[in-house]
Amino acid sequence: MLPYPALHASHAGIWIATAEETRAVGRGEAIRIAADTPVILLNAPLIGQRLGYAELTGLDLLELYAFLHPAQFAVPTPKGLARVANLPLPGDDAQIAPFLLRAAEALLAITDGDWPEREGAWTAAQSLYRLRWPWAPVVADRLKKPQVDERWLFSRLPEWEEHAPRPAPRTVTIEPGDAEARLVDLTGHGAEERPGQRAYAGAATAAFAPRAMRDSPNLVLAEAGTGIGKTLGYLSPASLWAEKAGGAVWISTYTKTLQRQLGQETARLYPDATIRKAKVVTRKGRENYLCLLNLEDALQGGFAGRAAILAHLVARWAAYSADGDMVGGDLPGWLPTLFRRNGSTALTDRRGECVYAGCPHYKKCFIERAARASSEADIVIANHALVMVNAARGRELATRPTRYVFDEGHHIFDAADSMFATALTGAEAIELRRWILGPESSGRGRRRGLAARLSDVASYDEGGARAIAEAVAAAGALASDGWLQRVGEGAPFGPIETLLAAVRGLTYARAEQPGDAGYGLETELAEPDATLIETAGAAAAALDALVRPLVTLGRRLEAVLAEAPDWLDGPARARVEGAIASIGWRAETVASWLSLLARVGGPADADFVDWLAVDRGDGREFDIGLHRHWLDPTRPFAEIVLKPAHGALVTSATLTGGGDWDVAEARTGAPHLARPAARFQAVSPFDYANQAEVLIVTDVKRGDVAALANAYARLIVASGGGTLGLFTAIRRLRGVHGRIADRLAREGLPLHAQHVDPIDTGTLVDIFRDDPSASLLGTDALRDGVDVPGESLRLVVMEGVPWPKPSVLHAARRLAGGGSAYDDRIVRARLAQAFGRLIRRADDSGAFVMLSAAMPSRLLSAFPPGVPIARVTLDEAVSRIATRLSSTPRVGHGLREPA
């Protein structure tokens, strides 16, 4: 037995266990013990939060698991730990602390023999020992030094290979009935026939027909209710077309959850794992993947303290990762949160500083490998943002897809709204300054400025060198470190900071004050005062002096490629091509800023909505700036993404979005195409009249957080857990959680909460899914894209009508979209999405509760036809839920022996 005590803290109490005894302790004693001696625990940030001791560290079993089993996921709970350690579950919270001691021994026992991830463990343990990782002495004692030097990460990783460009897809037609036959192959010939799914596959086939006219794709809008089986429905024609045409179909999602599910569904299409790896590739934005050059810098001293330990654990993971995806891939989502996310973002390329072929790890780069794999794949699983970025400024023009499937298509509007927006803010300006100038202080890291990245080009091309120098000089006018404090103190430096100070002053003068400093402030960009007009003119002159040399530099680099000097070998050419794309992106950004500044004191543009904002959170300002969004962001989406495509299927369970087909078309860009979209609709096969009910509680006073908390607690107890609580405000979520967590713990019902627990949202959902007695509170991110089976999710509770947040942008779109009818459509869509979490399978049963007497009857059409709807008191709601869900077994703490 290890010579360390184990510590466990929950809302039900705190316990310390040693080899001799287990005892309950108070918070003060637990903190003293943890401060004086290393303790074994599970999820230090979470335990520290429960103790009120944020700096709690120790021998975290999750860190040990990440070291011993890199690239393998475990649910970060006692139940999840028992599963991976092959141990019986503790019976209650009081038994968890001694269980942690047994779990530690069980995990360490793997070092006694060979295990798949042994290679690299001894070397990593030595490095972690020097960094004083708490587990290092224990692990190092149990690992024998290998007789042959271990291959380090950078020698383990395979190199990708260059292939000849893929030919353009052939023009083919999928014959009637072929997609339906493929669907039978995927579902199994003995499977129950689903007419809705069969009809869906046939309708989706139209998106893969040959295009008849330029800029007029075959667009199919398909609304398929939950349970239709739309994933296999569109995979059938998509895979057929890819095989016959020799091209790739890009399937785009909005959530990472659906991306992961799609990867699993393609196993039916390609059962052989080797073939599937070649045929199906998941693509994400660059910022999701581990950057090997950043990792090398971190391992060689770029990181210090806990961040350095994280870097070594990430290196262990990278050696065994399938794709290097740090966000939603096989890196456990809980690992970065154990380090308070200290350093994890610096391990990815979030700044657009990639040197491409100039990187020593270019041939092993996860991002480049994914890009090349996708050029040869039949099915590419991507997301809406990446599809739009690639279409707008992607480097892979030769392999641009001609066929798309947009699943979760009701989110296209939101994704396009973010992608095609402009924001001239302090945070954006300082990021551009750093990209151009590089480090301006003694901070560690490998960041280099534009001049350093293109030094060889500058030495060869006089015009390019001059453009670099001019860009560097002009970047000095951008906001710099400490800008926020200077602006707040009324002492801005330079034209951009002076502009931001004017924006701040006018916003405070005109914005509606919500009465809470935690809320952001905004006001429309109309009737600007003289100060704002004057500072906008000076800022525009400074930005014009910056954009000109950037454009010139891009042209000079293109000339260098055309001249092909002796030193321009393959890697150098790739690096210059990457620099051209990156510079072009920055030049476009600055040009959009200039366009926005031209609006200050000038005429409004009916296509755009412009406003000023001071962003605030937790009582402090964190950004200031000017914003511009398209009134209808599907216009640039249609122009940049849809028109160059030959066909696109846009599909969702809630595509009509609480309205009709006109709404579906308006929010997907269809009206901006010459060819009308085809429409298809299949209703859900579920028996909602018997499987679910909607209860509107009439006696919970609005704004009374204590009454709201009491309602949540009683409903969760009545259902025995399995509750998803949805909130429209983080403040109310936290208030409710703080009032009911201890109360539910005494009932044996764990409660987890987004924005409260120091755990990423994906892992919170995994914990919720894994424990039928647990409940989860969250906001918008949990209203859509969460697929949890009915055993774990049997009650959805919304704390109020999800009205859209009042804002300048919303006001403009509301005016253009029909006033209150526009608001109603948004609310109905949100209600439909939230209700859609409840019934996911034919044997699910549950209830949907709205804690708002003010719920308008006109919005009830958001729910499926036939579902019973009743306005009841809280007492009656509790009684009906207890009766409806009485057949669901109650389990204490989620700690039960597996059947």
pLDDT digits (tens, 9 = 90+) for 265-274: 899 999 999 9
Answer for the pair 814, 823: CB distance below 8 angstroms, yes or no: yes
% of the chain with per-residue pLDDT over 90: 68
pLDDT above 90 (res 780): no
> Which pLDDT score, from 0 to 100, does residue 447 have?
57
- In angstroms, the CA 700 to CA 873 distance is 8
pLDDT above 50 (res 889): no
Indicate the Cα dihedral angle 616, 619, 621, 622, nearest 10°.
-70
- In angstroms, the CA 667 to CA 418 distance is 14
> Which pLDDT score, from 0 to 100, does residue 515 have?
54
Cα 598 from chain centroid?
34
In what order do the strands lie in the sheet containing 403-406? 280-282, 379-383, 249-253, 403-406, 647-652, 218-224, 678-682
How far from 463 is each of 323, 551, 553, 641, CA to CA, in Å?
Answer: 40, 12, 8, 35
- In angstroms, the CA 333 to CA 66 distance is 11
pTM for this one? 0.91
Helix (H, G, I), strand (E, B) or coil at 498: helix
Q: Average of pLDDT values for 307-334? A: 92
pLDDT above 50 (res 674): yes
Q: Mean pLDDT check: name the lowest of 527-541, 551-565, 749-763.
A: 551-565
**Consecutive H or E run containing 465:** helix 462-475
pLDDT digits (tens, 9 = 90+) for 394-443: 665 656 899 999 999 999 999 999 999 999 999 999 999 988 988 776 55
CB atoms within 10 A of CB 509: 9
How far from 85 is each of 45, 79, 101, 330, 793, CA to CA, in Å?
Answer: 22, 10, 12, 19, 27
For residue 239, name the pLDDT band (cuts at 50, 70, 90).
very high
Task: Please name the residue that has the structure tokens 């990156």.
Answer: 582
Q: Average of pLDDT values for 382-390? A: 93
pLDDT digits (tens, 9 = 90+) for 704-732: 999 999 999 999 999 999 999 999 888 99
For residue 162, name the pLDDT band (cuts at 50, 70, 90).
confident
Amino acid at site 659: G
Helix (H, G, I), strand (E, B) or coil at 382: strand
Of 417, 428, 802, 823, nearest to 609 by C-alpha is 417
- In angstroms, the CA 513 to CA 23 distance is 51
For residue 278, name the pLDDT band (cuts at 50, 70, 90).
very high
For residue 892, name the pLDDT band (cuts at 50, 70, 90).
very low
pLDDT above 80 (res 619): no
pLDDT above 70 (res 894): no
pLDDT digits (tens, 9 = 90+) for 248-268: 999 999 988 888 888 888 999
Contacts of residue 316, defined as CB under 8 A and 6 or more positions apart, other chains included, come to: 66, 67, 70, 117, 120, 121, 124
CB atoms within 10 A of CB 780: 14
Phi/psi class of residue 601: alpha, beta or left (left: φ > 0; alpha: ψ in -120 to 50)?
left
Of 184, 222, 216, 185, nearest to 204 by C-alpha is 222
pLDDT above 50 (res 702): yes
> Which pLDDT score, from 0 to 100, does residue 260 have?
83
Alpha-helical runs (H) found in 720-860: 730-746, 761-770, 808-817, 820-835
Q: Average of pLDDT values for 630-654? A: 96
**Consecutive H or E run containing 50:** helix 44-51
Q: Average of pLDDT values for 292-319? A: 92
pLDDT digits (tens, 9 = 90+) for 101-118: 999 999 999 998 888 999
pLDDT above 80 (res 572): no
- Residue 3 has which token pair? 């010579």
The rounded mean pLDDT for the chain is: 90
Strands 751-753 and 775-778: parallel
Residue-level length of the chain: 899
Strands 775-778 and 846-850: unpaired
Name, of 439-443, 518-522, 614-618, 887-891, the range with top average pLDDT: 614-618
pLDDT digits (tens, 9 = 90+) for 45-97: 999 999 999 888 899 999 999 999 999 999 999 999 999 999 998 888 899 99
For residue 516, name the pLDDT band (cuts at 50, 70, 90).
low
